A and B are shown apart, each in its own frame.
Chain A
Amino acid sequence: MAQENNNKQIQAKKKHKITKIDVQSFLLRGRAFIALILVTVVFSLLSPSFLTGTNLVIMSKHVAINALVAIGMTFVILTAGIDLSVGSVVGMVAMMAGGLINEGIIIPRLGIIIYPHTWMIMVLSLILGTLAGALVGYIISRFNVAPFIATLGMFYVARGIAGLRNNGYTFPNLVGSAEYGNTGFEILGAGTFLGVNYSIWLMVILTLAAHIITKRTPFGRHIYAIGGNEHAAELSGVRVSRTKIIVYSISGFCSAFVGLIVASQLVASHPLIGDTYELNAIAAVVLGGTSLAGGRGSMGGTLIGAFVIGVLNDGLVMMGVSSFWQKVIKGAVIVFAVIIDQVQARMQERIAVQQQEELD
């Protein structure tokens, strides 16, 4: 009888422990969302104008820039890679697009200047960014160069090209002219649909597309497999090199889009556009629960991560916190996010072991 009671107690204890772990793992998995709610609540309390419609739209516009880069970055990080070149590609594409609008394509031999249509300029810019990514992916997979190094190289090269394009000067006033048929570039940055900026729509659409690609296509599954165990993926017939090249191309494509959006919003191209975007993007990805070791994470998480960083940025500015303190806080948040990443990995390991023991 006493033993029976004892057993019951042990069982009750077990149940209690499982719930505790469930709660912990729920908190860890939903940590980005919880952080988002937390920072939003804090800033709303501290500043009454924070949670207004206008402010939310402005903030979302800022977030969209980072989120678009971070979506490309998530593809890369899921394969256990990293892309340091995104910010420089943003700058390079912005300068190239600006040059195409203001100067056109000069063909010296024939003595003619071709002014492509605005649509054409956008397509060319997106192709340029994609090719920059594809080149990096090719170098990484073909020559077995560490992603950190290959993308560090592109980080310098692309930024250098951005400066070279106009000797370090800005391309101002990117409105084109009616007689060349290249007007309307500024609409990408300023235009709205249903009162919401195009860049925000783009963020939503690309996040959804990226989510579907990663979760519901063989290509997406291959990305996760490569990040989890490249050997096993290769031996299962996954074309690892090809997948990696595509992944870095996607990252380049997203960066190119951001380059266009920023240049359009500013109606100008500056060679330093996109500076440190790579760091904001990595921070968003990690904050969103994607493991830097690869194989774990999601696009939805990245979007939330980008919002956390955006809310933090704009909130601190509205609060009048000095830009130096902003940097300190952002740095701390990034490191904290990686610590959480490690805690989660250990936690998942522990849960897996426990499940195994239960099963056996």
Chain B
Amino acid sequence: MSDLSTNLTVKTDISNNIILTAENITHVYPGTVALDDVSFSVRNGKVNVLIGENGAGKSTLMKILVGVQQPTRGKILLDGHEIKPRSPIEATRLGIGIVFQELNLCDNLSVVDNIFLAREKTRRGGLISRRTQRKLASELLNKLEQKIDPDELLGNLRIGEKQIVEIAKALSQNVRILIMDEPTSALSADEVDVLFRVIRDLKSSGVAIIYISHKLEELTEIGDYVTILRDGQKVAEEEIENVNVTWMIENMVGRNPATLFTHKERELGDVLLRAENLTLPRAGGGYLLDHVSFELYEGEVLGFYGLMGAGRSDLVECLAGARPQATGNIWLEGQPVNTETISDRIQSGFVLVPEDRQRDSIVPTLSVQDNMLLASLKKYLRGGFLAAAKERAATNSQIKDLSIRVANSHQPITALSGGNQQKVVVAKGMLTQPKVLLLDEPTRGIDVGAKSEISEIINRLAEEKYGVIFVSSELKEILAMSDRILVMSKGKITGEFSHQEANEEKLVAASAIGHGSLNGGNHHGSGK
């Protein structure tokens, strides 16, 4: 084995240390070619980045590598021998592990039980050895620098913490090739740093990483090689040190990225929303929101930045009426808002685009149209019954307004790509004729093109004098989009910056206030 690898090093740089190759993979779905003659090489001890827009074929390629799907044509070589994994379990046995983007964890089990699910450490006699499992889990979580209690119920964790657990689970399998599908999409900047340290550790111990991400900036930091897919074809393969973000976007989208996130100077109107002393107690004592006060102007995009658990999502949920325990005063256009329930708040003009699209936004069993109209059904009545013509008119106007790509509005919502699903969710909000839009991570997990479109939509809405509250964990995006940025930490507002004065350092510094050290990795939603 070691002889073989020394022999290989004499080859050219780009082909050395190849542990796994996908050769000329073609995958045909009825009606479409998802992968068209794609070859992909994975190098030992390197981070092999795979990027492309949604639908470019990344997921299909990964599904083939871990045996969820079988290629129509082409073969996979592991250490030069052809393998044909038929299931993820088989792939794991071959040393290929995956951290799924959609978390594959059980909310009703503890963190430990999730990490060792189906691979329980047993004592003689077949009983689970809780002590061994807990010890190993603690070690893994410590390595990831997380203060997650191994005995905590998974359902009680924030989505970012769950992602850490998913990563710990993959690490516990001692794989040689680790596929990470958007591992950072739910992580804060500090957690990403920790993850990158872990990835570097893995690299030095000879693990090959396949890394998929929509966050292109981080790729130049962590990646070694990049492969770009577009429309099922490989369009480029290069060493990361030779390329930059602009080059990546150009290859992914096929156009100039200079116009991705734009900020236009706007005239702000009157105070639209005033919140005073918004307070949300935490179940175990303390506050999720600690007397938060702020103002939002007509036509303003107000960004909220912070670490996970800082209270940003809690804040927008309070405004949307989803947190009945919250106290404090809210004025909308100078009038006090006294209503409690979500439907009342929607009537008043608040609308929430939730953070977790799968869990909180879409109804998977309903069509695109039915999802879009769900929050505003009363507008399409004729004599007490839903009028198909009115429904269709509303749907079509939104599809056109937000340029949603959908062949037929009666298709199930799940048939759309993430970006288009998110646009449907935004359309659902717009149809309630809101005054204040509460967007919680609206661009999470969607491709560059769709991100840019969502940002255009936000800009347009601000120009139309809506008030937009925009929660994001992506520094570049929030800096580009916001007229003003409020930074939160531990339930309090710890910084306020205008578009001109804000920069990455200031935001990060303000987001760490109250956490002791700037570099510590313990900023997850503590006290769950």
Q: Check B377 against A295 for contact (C-beta < 8 Å).
A: no
**Given A221-B370, A238-B343, CB of A21 within 8 Å of CB of B363:** no
Q: Check B374 against A354 for contact (C-beta < 8 Å).
A: no
CA distance A294 to B407 in the complex (A): 26
Q: In the complex, how many residues of chain B place their beta carbon closer than 8 angstroms to a beta carbon of chain A?
A: 46
Determine chain A's interface SS by DSSP, over half rule.
helix
Q: Check A228 against B364 for contact (C-beta < 8 Å).
A: yes
At the interface, yes or no: A53 with Cβ under 8 Å from chain B? no
Q: Check B406 against A228 for contact (C-beta < 8 Å).
A: no
What string of 1s and 0s marks CB contacts (under 8 Å) between A203-247 and chain B? 000000000100011100110110111011111111100000000
Tell me how many residue pairs across A and B have CB atoms closer than 8 Å: 122
**Given A218-B386, A235-B322, CB of A354 within 8 Å of CB of B55:** no
Partner of B363 from A14, A225, A349 at Cβ < 8 Å = A225
At the interface, yes or no: A6 with Cβ under 8 Å from chain B? no
Q: Check B374 against A233 for contact (C-beta < 8 Å).
A: yes
At the interface, yes or no: B341 with Cβ under 8 Å from chain A? yes
Q: In the complex, how many residues of chain A place their beta carbon closer than 8 angstroms to a beta carbon of chain B?
A: 40
Q: Check B320 against A235 for contact (C-beta < 8 Å).
A: yes
A contact residues around B428 at 8 Å (CB): 236
What string of 1s and 0s marks CB contacts (under 8 Å) between B351-394 and chain A? 01010000111111110001001110110010011100000000
What string of 1s and 0s marks CB contacts (under 8 Å) between B204-248 and chain A? 000000000000000000000000000000000000000000000
Minimal beta-carbon separation of B445 from chain A (angstroms): 15
A contact residues around B411 at 8 Å (CB): 355
At the interface, yes or no: A348 with Cβ under 8 Å from chain B? yes
Partner of B29 from A222, A229, A354 at Cβ < 8 Å = A354
CA distance A3 to B374 in the complex (A): 48
Partner of B412 from A225, A238, A348 at Cβ < 8 Å = A348
Partner of A218 from B32, B60, B346, B378 at Cβ < 8 Å = B378
CA distance A360 to B58 in the complex (A): 12
CA distance A137 to B30 in the complex (A): 45
A contact residues around B34 at 8 Å (CB): 357
CA distance A212 to B386 in the complex (A): 10
A contact residues around B31 at 8 Å (CB): 14, 17-18, 354, 357-358
CA distance A227 to B342 in the complex (A): 19
**Given A228-B363, A348-B412, CB of A357 within 8 Å of CB of B343:** no
B contact residues around A353 at 8 Å (CB): 29, 415
* 18 A-B pairs (CB sep. < 8 Å): A217-B385, A218-B386, A224-B365, A225-B366, A229-B365, A232-B361, A232-B374, A235-B320, A235-B322, A235-B361, A237-B346, A294-B365, A295-B363, A295-B366, A354-B30, A356-B416, A358-B32, A360-B55
- Which residues of chain B have a CB within 8 Å of any CB of chain A? 28-32, 34, 54-55, 60, 320, 322, 341-343, 346, 352, 354, 359-366, 370, 373-375, 377-378, 381, 384-386, 405-407, 411-412, 414-417, 428, 432
Please give me the 4 A-B residue pairs with the lowest Cβ-Cβ distance, nearest first: A360-B55, A295-B365, A228-B365, A228-B363
